[in-house]
Every structure is written in structure tokens, then in C-alpha cells.
Amino acid sequence: MNNISFPNLGLDFSINPVAFSIGSLQVYWYGIITALAFLVIILGILRSSDKYGIKQDDLVDLVLITSIIGIICARIFYVLVNWDRYRNNLSEIYKIWGGGLAIYGGIIGGIITIYLFCRKRKISALQILDHLVVYFALGQAIGRWGNFVNQELFGPNTNLPWAMTGNVIQNTIARFPENFPGVDAYLPVHPLFLYESLWDFLTFILLATFRKRKKMEGEVFSLYMISYGLARFTIDSMRFDLKVGNFNINRVIGLIFAIAFGVIFIARRLRKNEDLIEEADEGTTPSIYREILHGMDNQSSAADDEVANEGTISDSVDEAVIEGSVSSDRDETENEANASDIDDESTGYEDQEGAKQASVSDSEDEAVNPETDGSIDIVENENAD
């Protein structure tokens, strides 16, 4: 049985970390609270999946796979960062019910798993992440109370009204004083689990409200990473574990995530606004009044075009008539000239025929009177003698 108290509030609790036993199997409160957090996440994402166009079958498969991989990655991350504690106690590595999950390990492993799953199923990873992180933040807010039962995740001494202490906290500090420099084991400390639980709950409200106003897929996920990165950077400044050298690894990762996703969020918004401005300049989204006026102008232009076309047709007809008349006169003149030429040719032909006939007549006359020609020759010969 463990004792937990908030001395400045006058609150004292006696909590057995084992909730119940089934034969030799002991079920811990830490495991129950963690399971409750997962149940809330699953019920939340399934309840509103149809509203956001996501199939429940895909979500069920995704949650089952991601949950297992996320827990394994969270434990691996925690063990690696706290290797000095486990190098000589390898049998303690798999005992996750005793506490010791690094959330960033779970987040990184979960994101990779979700990306690969969505790629295989050919669905939008950003749409899935936007939907999941809303309820994941709520699950984190609930899950942090497992740290309360185990008396984990505490900071330096404080005298604030909500300062807490407990027998496990005191024993941990007294046993490893080098890991908690400047901390008095018998004075109240900061309940960092409570700070993070409240931060996660406020993040849940923020994300649930913002996703109704998002402009692009992935914005809700980016906002979650910004919020949680800032939480880790702020709250973990008071933690003594998860350090590599003199640096708290959670703070370093949190700051990187907050800055990176903040830049991504702003850059995508600016690009979106530029696209909207370009569309407005191109007139792709005119007002209804502009469309009405534009329609009236088009009708007026169409009427003018019809009148102009009618005038053009009339002019074309007149020109055709005139050209036809001129062509007819020209044809008549050419026909008369051709007729005159034909008459002249006929007259010439007749003259030629008359000359031919006269020649033929003379020939015939010569043939009929040959004696005349002979007598003449005789007379001429006699005269010559």
C-alpha cells in the first residue's frame, strides 16, 4: 500500500498499485488506466469517423497495429535513454506495468506505422492523423494519471498549493540522490504528471474546436505537434530523468517538433492565402452582382452581333445581285460579239465557195471547146511560116 498526499490541500490517499489479482496474475492500476485511455481513444475515433469520411474498418485495423507498435517503441525509447538503470538489470526491460514509457518513442513509432498503413490502403495519412490526434490528446490526459498511482513524473521541491509527496517519491529520491540534485526527499515536489494532464486536456479542447475550421488536411496534426512539443519543452525543464549528458532529450525533441511544425503550419497557410488571392485576381470567384452584369453585357453584345450579321447578309445579297446583273450584261455582249464573228466567218466561207465554183466552171468551159484552141495554134503556125 502506497501513500500519496497533497499537504497544502490537506489531501491524503492510500493506494495499492495492484488493483486486483486473478490467481497469480496481478492487474495494476497503471495498466487499467492505460487501457482506459486507449479505450477512450478508440471509442472517440470510431464514434465520429463517418462524419469525417473515414471507414471504421480501416480505423480498427490501424489502432490495433499502431497501439502494439507504439507501446513497444515507447518502452524501447525509455530504456535507451535510461540505459544506465537497465544495463545491469536486463530482466526489468519488459516490465512495462511498473512504469517507464517515453511518449515520444510511441509517437514516432506510431507516425511511421500510420504512414505505411495508409500508403498500403491508399488512404490519406494526413486525414487519418487529423482525426486521431484529437482523441489521442484526450487519451494522454487520462493516461497520465497512471503516473500518479506509481508516483512518477515529479519535479523539484515546491510550496505551491498543489505540491505533492508520497512514500515512493521519498524513497526514490533518497535511493538515487545523484539523479535529483538539490531535491529534499522529505519536502513536497511539483506534480508534473498533473501539469501535463491538464495541458493535454486543453489541447484536446483546442483541437476539437479547430478541426471544424481547418483549411487543409494535416493542420490539426501540425497543431497537436506544436502544442505537445511546447508542453514537453516547458514541463520537462523540471524533470530529472530522460537526460543524455546535460540535455533532457524530451526538451530537445519537443523544441524541434514545435519549431518545425510551426513553420510548416504557417508556410502552408501563407501558400493557401496566395492561391486564394491569385484566384480572386483571375476572377474565378466573382460576386453574384458581377455575374449578373456580365450576363447582361453578353446579351447586349449578342444582340448587336445579330444586327451586324443581318446587315452584312443584306449587303452580301445586294452585291451578289449587282454582280449577277453585270455578269449577265457581260455575257450578252460576249454572245453578240461571238455571233457577229460567226456571221463574218460564214460570209467569207460563202465567198470562198463561190470562187471555187467559178474556177470549176471555167475549167469545164475549156474542156468543152478544145478545137478553138487548136485552130488558134494552126493559124499562128501558118503565120509563122
Q: Read off the pLDDT of residues 278-327 as tens digits, 9 standing for 90 and up.
A: 767 665 555 555 556 556 656 655 555 555 555 555 555 455 444 555 45
Mean pLDDT of 371-379: 40
How far apart CA 327 and CA 329 sit, in angstroms, is: 6
pLDDT at position 326 is 42
**Mean pLDDT within 358-376:** 43
Question: Where is pLDDT greater, at 84 or 34?
Answer: 34
Which region among 123-127, 187-191, 307-311 has the lowest average model confidence (pLDDT)? 307-311
Q: Would you kindly state where each structural domain of the chain is located, as residue ranges?
A: 2-281, 288-384
Give the per-residue pLDDT at 104: 81
Q: Read off the pLDDT of each residue in 83-92 and give the average, rounded to a whole number.
A: 79
Does the pLDDT at position 101 exceed 80? no
Q: What confidence score (pLDDT) does residue 199 get?
A: 97
Range ranked top by mean pLDDT from 73-77, 133-137, 335-339: 133-137
Is 374's pLDDT higher than 70?
no
Q: pLDDT class for 191, splitting at 50, 70, 90?
A: very high
| Calpha distance 153→252 (Å, rounded) | 18
Other Cβ atoms within 10 Å of 131 Cβ, number: 23
Distances from the Cα of 103 to the Cαs of 74, 155, 250, 371, 373, in angstroms?
6, 18, 9, 157, 155
Alpha helix (H) ranges present in 241-287?
Answer: 249-281
Of 168-182, 251-265, 344-358, where does mean pLDDT reach its minimum? 344-358
| Number of Cβ atoms within 10 Å of the Cβ of 240 | 18
For the segment 118-124, the average pLDDT, to the nearest whole number, is 90
Bridge-partner residues for 95, per DSSP?
none
- Max avg pLDDT among 93-107, 117-131, 278-292, 346-360: 117-131
pLDDT digits (tens, 9 = 90+) for 237-266: 998 876 777 778 888 889 999 999 999 999
Comparing 358 with 144, the larger pLDDT belongs to 144
Percent of the chain clearing pLDDT 70 (strictly above): 70
pLDDT of residue 183: 94
Mean pLDDT over all residues of the chain?
78
pLDDT bin (cut points 50, 70, 90) of residue 102 is confident
Question: Can you give the pLDDT at residue 107?
Answer: 86
Lowest mean pLDDT among 9-23, 209-223, 321-335: 321-335
C-alpha–C-alpha distance, residues 170 and 151, integer Å: 10
Q: What DSSP assignment string belongs to 198-246?
A: HHHHHHHHHHHHHTTT-SSTTHHHHHHHHHHHHHHHHHGGG--SSEETT
245 sits in the region (left: phi over 0; alpha: psi -120 to 50; else beta) called: left
* pLDDT, position 145: 93
pLDDT on residue 363: 44
pLDDT in tens, 220-233: 999 999 999 999 99
Statement: the pTM of the whole predicted model exceeds 0.75: no
Q: Is it the case that residue 373 has pLDDT exceeding 50? A: no
How far, in Å, CA of 222 to CA of 378, rounded? Answer: 150
